[in-house]
A and B are shown apart, each in its own frame.
Chain A
Amino acid sequence: NAGVTQTPKFRVLKTGQSMTLLCAQDMNHEYMYWYRQDPGMGLRLIHYSVGEGTTAKGEVPDGYNVSRLKKQNFLLGLESAAPSQTSVYFCASKKAGTRNDEQFFGPGTRLTVL
C-alpha cells in the first residue's frame, strides 16, 4: 500500500516551459487535492477534485490546470511556467463522507522555474 505518490520528486524548468505533475493514490479515495507550499505562506490550495471527471478551483488556481480522468490519478499542469510558480507542490487525498476523515499527503515535488 503505497498511499499517495508524486512524480517527479524534483524538476527545474525554464520560464515558458510546460510540465505535468502526476499524483497517484491507491486508497480508493474520492477526493484529491493539489497544494503549493511557500515559505511564510503555508499550504495553499490550488485545485481539488471530489470525483472522477470533476475539478474545482482553490485559493490560488491561476496559471494551473488539472485533470482527473481516473479515480486514482490527479494531474497538475503548468502550461507556461513562471518564476512565481517555484514552490513545493503537495498532492493529498481523502475519502468522501464525513469531514473528519484524514487527508493523506504525498511526499511533494520541488519545482524550480528559472
Chain B
Amino acid sequence: QQQVKQSPQSLIVQKGGISIINCAYENTAFDYFPWYQQFPGKGPALLIAIRPDVSEKKEGRFTISFNKSAKQFSLHIMDSQPGDSATYFCAAFNQAGTALIFGKGTTLSVSS
C-alpha cells in the first residue's frame, strides 16, 4: 500500500515560471516530510524538508507548503530554471518509522 501519492507524473514549465508538485499522505503519526531531487544517472539527494508544525518552509527558490488538516504538502519552485530539470520525489515514513516511502516521482522539464 503506497502511503504517499504524488502528482503530476510529469510537468513542463517555461523558464521563469512556477513549478508546483503535490503530495498527499495517509499516516498522521509522522513528523517529517522531505523532498528529494534526482538528476539523470544520479542517486536522489535531499532538497528540502518540513515538519508539520510549520505551514511553510522556504530555501531560496524552493518552498514547501504544508496543510496538516488535509494531509497534503506541495513543492513550489519559483523562477524555474533549465538546471531545475530533474525528477522530484516527496516522501514520508513507513509504519515503523524506520524507512522513507517515496511518491512515484514527478519529472520536471524547464524549457528555455
Contact = CB atoms under 8 A, between A and B. Distances in A.
Given A99-B93, A100-B49, A31 B98 contact: yes
Interface string A73-109: 0000000000000000010100000011011011110
B43 A107 contact: yes
Interface stretch (A13-21, A38-46, A64-72): A38-46
A50 interface: yes
Q: Tell me whether chain A's interface is mostly helix, strand or loop, or mixed.
A: strand
Nearest to B106: A42
Interface in B22-46: 30-32, 34, 36, 41-46
A100 B96 CA distance: 15
A62 interface: no
Nearest to A90: B43
A102 B101 contact: no
A106 B6 contact: no
11 contacts: A4-B43, A31-B98, A31-B99, A42-B102, A42-B104, A48-B99, A99-B93, A100-B51, A106-B43, A107-B42, A108-B43
7 tightest CB-CB pairs across the interface, nearest first? A105-B43, A42-B104, A43-B102, A99-B32, A100-B32, A42-B105, A102-B46
Interface of A: 4, 31, 33, 35, 40-45, 48, 50, 56, 58-59, 90, 92, 99-100, 102-103, 105-108
